[in-house]
Amino acid sequence: QVQLVESGGGLVQPGGSLSLSCEVSGRIFRVYDMGWFRQAPGNQRELVATMTSGGNTDYAHSVKGRFTISRDNVKKAVYLQMNSLKPEDTAVYYCNADIVPVAGAMRRDYWGQGTQVTVSS
């Protein structure tokens, strides 16, 4: 079964930095878009950043200039470098990937279990 595992979350002071990683394992034919979403208590899940297999990116307005998404298509991994963190960045961050697990199968979204990011003094 396809698995996405996030790591790198934790507690950081305002203005600090964190780097998140997500690795994909299991039977995989091809990985398309990959990205990060986040969800704070009482809020809906929102897009943070995405990157296509060709390198095109999309960022939420609230993180532009502070966060950078990158990926390694050989390792089937996606990363999120977060700088100048603010308390409003506090949320559970989820890795997402569009994957065809085997030739002929449908393309669909897969999700990681989430990693907690807390920005507080």
Give pLDDT, residue 32: 95
Rg (C-alpha) for the chain, rounded Å, is: 14
pLDDT at 63: 98
Q: Which residues on neighbouring strands pair with residue 42, listed in sequence order?
A: none
Distance in angstroms (rounded) separating the CA atoms of residues 3 and 86: 30
The confidence score (pLDDT) of residue 1 equals 85
- Quote the pLDDT of residue 41: 92
Per-residue pLDDT of the chain (121 residues; tens, 9 = 90+): 899 999 999 999 999 999 999 999 998 999 999 999 999 999 999 999 999 999 999 999 999 999 999 999 999 999 999 999 999 999 999 999 999 999 999 999 999 999 999 999 9
Answer for the pair 37, 24: CB distance below 8 angstroms, yes or no. Answer: no
pLDDT for the residue 5: 94
> What pLDDT sits at residue 100?
94
Amino acid (1-letter code) at residue 14: P
Dist CA 104 CA 101 (whole Å): 9
pLDDT for 13: 98
- Please give the Cα distance from 120 to 89 (Å, whole number): 10
Give the per-residue pLDDT at 27.
86
Q: Are 19 and 82 in contact (CB under 8 A)?
A: yes
